[in-house]
Amino acid sequence: MKIGVYGSPLAGKRTGIGNYIFYLLKNLESILPKAKFFVISQLDIEDLPFSNKENFTLIVEKNPFLRKLPKSLWLRYFSHRLINRLNLNVFWSGIPILPNLLKTGVTKTITVHDFNVHLVPETMKTTVRLGYKIYFNKSIREAHRIVTVSEGTAKKLSQFYSRQADAVVHPGVDLKKFKILNKQFVKDYLIRKNLNKYILFVSTIEPRKNLDSLIDAFMELKAKGRLKHYKLVIAGDSGWKNRTIEKKIKEFSSEILYLKYVPEEELPLLYNGADLFVLPSIYEGFGMPAQEARACGCCVMVSDIPELHESAGPGAIYVKPTKEGLKEALSLFERGKLSCDKEKLREGLFLWEEEAKKLAEVLIK
């Protein structure tokens, strides 16, 4: 079987969708040992998940003009030039956009991560929003099979498009990396980072993540003499529509530590050292950092929305994603009147190998 994969999200510094595709491919290699994978990318990819070079071929756009196009535009209208010569059986796009003009006979599968374009379009990067508005509906109609990343997203697929997901393939967690670490090892790391007690936020900084409400809640409590010994630590690339947030981070730099992008190998140390992880998103398709944090034994506080119940699990603290809701929850947490259920904190973690089996079933169906 010849399986084509849209590979551009694997280029550069991987974040959520890139990691989702990377780790599923890493496990698909052993689940489908007879399959040949063809990774088609607009840009060069330095780190591929395959251990056997005979199992995959990387095909990269060479045209310098086409390499500069918006990714969704290239995928939709130009990637077929590279794909159609491969005589694929299946093409999997890890985003909800399909190439136009694929050869007849290729089974087309997409992954839908969220419905930002329907629910919170104002939070999206302008070029991405325009691309999704143009291509999203068409790709949903053209896809032979659709995978979603959560039950909540599957329900919204049915609600908006009257289509049932062929499978729910959750983001997994690598328990060899994201685990409870040796306390001295973590302590040494915190000393190097000049950290003691801190509340942690991990994500690309963009409007949907609602970081401004967390900063406002944190600083208003500080102004009242609460959270005296805590810093707010932010880990994640600067995204879009975030000038106000970046201004606040600079203004309150004595209380907020902005680490920018943190490599994946360092994240387990940050999670292990944190007193609390907070993800106050106004909407998520799943919320991978919440699952990573609880796999490391860190108490998790997230917005009370269905998709985050799937990622944060039964032991988490659920709050209203407003400044006042966060203020109340953080105040109660500091006073010991609100806490995670430690016995349930690591229950129901999704594992990459199990989720990859679900995807394999869809691809070979």
Tell me the per-residue pLDDT of 157-202, one tens digit each, with 9 for 90 and over. 999 999 999 999 999 999 999 999 999 999 999 999 889 999 999 9
* 202 and 164 in a common domain: no
* 157 and 284 in a common domain: no
Stated as kind and residue range, the H or E segment containing 302 is strand 300-303
pLDDT value at residue 241: 81
* 309 and 357 in a common domain: no
Give the pLDDT mean for 289-312: 97
245: CB partners within 8 A, 6+ apart: 205, 211, 212, 215
* 247 and 150 in a common domain: no
Cα atoms in the Cβ-side hemisphere of radius 13 Å centred on 158: 10
Residue 37 lies in a domain: yes
Q: Distance between CA 317 and CA 309 in Å, rounded?
A: 10
* 188 and 168 in a common domain: no
Does position 239 have pLDDT exceeding 80, yes or no? Answer: no
Lowest mean pLDDT among 31-35, 121-125, 312-316, 348-352: 121-125
pLDDT value at residue 42: 97
Does position 249 have pLDDT exceeding 90, yes or no? Answer: no
* 213 and 163 in a common domain: no
Residue identified by tokens 């190097």 is 192
Three-state secondary structure call for residue 37: strand
* 153 and 9 in a common domain: yes
Residue 177 lies in a domain: no
Q: Distance between CA 237 and CA 125 in Å, rounded?
A: 14
* 292 and 211 in a common domain: yes
Residue 83 lies in a domain: yes
pLDDT value at residue 29: 93
User: Are 348 and 316 spatial neighbours (Cβ–Cβ below 8 Å)?
Assistant: no
Find the domain containing 324 and state its range.
183-334
* 192 and 168 in a common domain: no
* 355 and 270 in a common domain: no
Give this prediction's pTM: 0.93
Three-state secondary structure call for residue 140: helix
Tell me the per-residue pLDDT of 40-50, one tens digit each, with 9 for 90 and over. 999 999 999 99
User: Are 32 and 364 spatial neighbours (Cβ–Cβ below 8 Å)?
Assistant: yes
Residue 339 lies in a domain: no
* 209 and 305 in a common domain: yes
The CATH number that applies at residue 134 is: 3.40.50.2000
pLDDT value at residue 242: 78
Q: Distance between CA 175 and CA 173 in Å, rounded?
A: 6
Residue 205 lies in a domain: yes
Q: Among 357, 352, 356, which residue's Cα sits nearest to residue 172?
A: 352
Lowest mean pLDDT among 10-14, 85-89, 178-182, 314-318: 10-14
Q: Distance between CA 107 and CA 92 in Å, rounded?
A: 8
Residue 178 lies in a domain: no
* 68 and 216 in a common domain: no
Q: How many domains does the chain have?
A: 2
- The percent of the chain in helix, strand and coil, each rounded to the nearest 5, is 45, 20, 40
Residue 264 lies in a domain: yes
Residue 107 lies in a domain: yes
Tell me the per-residue pLDDT of 303-328, one tens digit each, with 9 for 90 and over. 999 999 999 999 999 999 999 999 99
**To the nearest 10°, the Cα dihedral for 175, 180, 186, 189?**
20
Q: Distance between CA 240 and CA 209 in Å, rounded?
A: 11
